[in-house]
Structure 1
């Protein structure tokens, strides 16, 4: 594994990433490459890098797992902005970096995204035609989630509150940064939380894969753009790239099961696959060997077919 940084030329800061290489890697050869994108509130050291990135590298791909702008080890201020427009453009800069590497075949670049990173991966693939194959792992349309559960089903009220907070911050008050998940499983229990996704997120980020680079938070005043965004907009027209969508069959409040079914139906791709992993919830697809293994059983052959690995 190689830690790297490269410039986000639009925003004047660096993107932090790791490169993972196939067994017997030869820098004089050309390889297919896959961009692995982390979930909302996560970082490259978690499921995008240490689970899916590792497995795809072992399967013969050069894999780049990156931290989105203002998150993890990447640059950008203020921190923890979850703006879909900014997030999606980061993917384009990752492609720009990959095509400068002599051992990457520019015509064989794919993308894999997990959770909100899956929604971002779907969206960028519509307009970034250098991406030739797409995999969404329990992908979530963050715009839909922001209008619904993340705004308590009151998007207009949330937008008004965001506007007031941004005005206050412009006048010098402290930034308001909100946690996406409880601080501990004990805190979740005391709050009476029973939703499988919130509990799964708390267990994953607080117990199973703790990492200082995972923010699990967002700057409240800069979340207005997400409420007006739709990861699937124009999918019927622009999403023609080969696509595989993996979801678990145990739905929770974050809505990956619903979103996966929707994008599979709407995408214009001639080759599209929907994989529903039985007895599996959203966060089990992050790192649990059984569900992850079933996902990879379909995802690896899909990428080998469409990237000719």
Structure 2
């Protein structure tokens, strides 16, 4: 299977992406395409590309897995910025790139997002009507996660404001890691929930570790996330065919409950919630059995609505 490194523009910086080609690709033909979005703090070389992107390409789709602006190999400064407006704009810029390729069928473009990339996928698809089919795997709202962190969102915003003032006066920019380096460190800090512990096993071990999967964010520029609701207005604006896949082992990231909420509220006439029994949030990133189960649902879904 062929993979090509490409770039496309978001405002005045380059967004880096990997374009996965189907087997026996023929540039004289037209192909359906899927934009694949990575989790929060992740990168295109992890689950969105090397697992789902590769498998969807092998199923006959062109797949564009991209690094979010300000992250990975993509451009933009401030580095490690996690801004929901820019994250959703990346999706439209990805489509802008795809429609310039002669071998892409512009009427058959879909989107897939994993974890936080899933919540951004939902938000982007509300506005981006060139997406004709929408899929998510263990989607979780980054806004809700920030608000529920200590259940003191206003106090959190006050603290972020003080940090931004300090940085405006010359203090070093505060960049935080979302996870501990080891499970032992996390447990000593009192963390017992399955999601943050399994995040360490994925991001901090050879299982899923990649140089650009940093899990870093700029603290003073995070109020936009505290205020963010990717599912706002989905009753009215999210109308494309929709497939939402979650595991049934719930953790604090909330993908299980988000899955039910998205499908219950979405305005899509064709929508399906797939609950994979016995699997957790991070199992769906890369473990062969649950990812195959997810792909066995996603591939027919995309083939039905993208052709």
Task: Classify the TM-score, shorter chain.
Answer: over 0.9
Does residue 36 (structure 1) correspond to residue 36 (structure 2)? The answer is yes
1:148 aligned residue: 148
Q: How many positions carry a matched residue from both structures?
A: 304
Does residue 163 (structure 1) correspond to residue 165 (structure 2)? The answer is no
Describe the superposition over 1:118-158 as per-residue Cα deviations: whole angstroms up to 9, x where unpaired: 00000110110000000010001111111112xx1111011
Q: 2: distance between equivalents of 1:223 and 1:267?
A: 27
Q: 1: distance between equivalents of 2:199 and 2:40?
A: 11
Q: 1: distance between equivalents of 2:172 and 2:220?
A: 11
What is the Cα-based RMSD across aligned positions, in Å? 0.7
- SS of structure 1 residue aligned to 2:247: strand
1:100 aligned residue: 100
Q: 2: distance between equivalents of 1:210 and 1:229?
A: 28
* Offset, 1:189: 3.0
Once the two structures are overlaid, the 10-residue window that deviates more, 181-190 or 20-29, is 181-190
* Aligned residue runs from structure 1 range 274-293, under 5 A: 274-293=273-292
* Offset, 1:19: 0.4
Contact 1:67–1:73 under 8 Å retained in 2: yes
* Offset, 1:79: 0.7
Q: 1: distance between equivalents of 2:186 and 2:141?
A: 24
- SS of structure 1 residue aligned to 2:228: coil
1:111 aligned residue: 111
Does residue 221 (structure 1) correspond to residue 220 (structure 2)? The answer is yes
- SS of structure 1 residue aligned to 2:195: helix
* Offset, 1:291: 0.8
- SS of structure 2 residue aligned to 1:2: strand
Contact 1:185–1:206 under 8 Å retained in 2: no
Q: 2: distance between equivalents of 1:201 and 1:234?
A: 30
* Offset, 1:185: 2.3
Describe the superposition over 1:79-111 as per-residue Cα deviations: whole angstroms up to 9, x where unpaired: 111111110011110010000011000000000
Q: 2: distance between equivalents of 1:300 and 1:132?
A: 14
Does residue 121 (structure 1) correspond to residue 121 (structure 2)? The answer is yes
Q: Identify unmatched segments of 5+ residues in structure 1.
A: none
Q: 2: distance between equivalents of 1:251 and 1:179?
A: 23
2:190 aligned residue: 192
* Offset, 1:226: 0.8
* Aligned residue runs from structure 1 range 246-257, under 5 A: 246-257=245-256
Q: 2: distance between equivalents of 1:248 and 1:307?
A: 25
1:244 aligned residue: 243
2:210 aligned residue: 211
1:176 aligned residue: 174
* Offset, 1:193: 1.9
Q: 2: distance between equivalents of 1:190 and 1:228?
A: 31
1:91 aligned residue: 91
1:6 aligned residue: 8
1:26 aligned residue: 26
Q: 2: distance between equivalents of 1:282 and 1:5?
A: 30
- SS of structure 2 residue aligned to 1:241: coil
Q: Identify unmatched segments of 5+ residues in structure 2.
A: none
Q: 1: distance between equivalents of 2:16 and 2:154?
A: 35
2:53 aligned residue: 53
Q: 1: distance between equivalents of 2:99 and 2:8?
A: 13
Once the two structures are overlaid, the 10-residue window that deviates more, 161-170 or 42-51, is 161-170
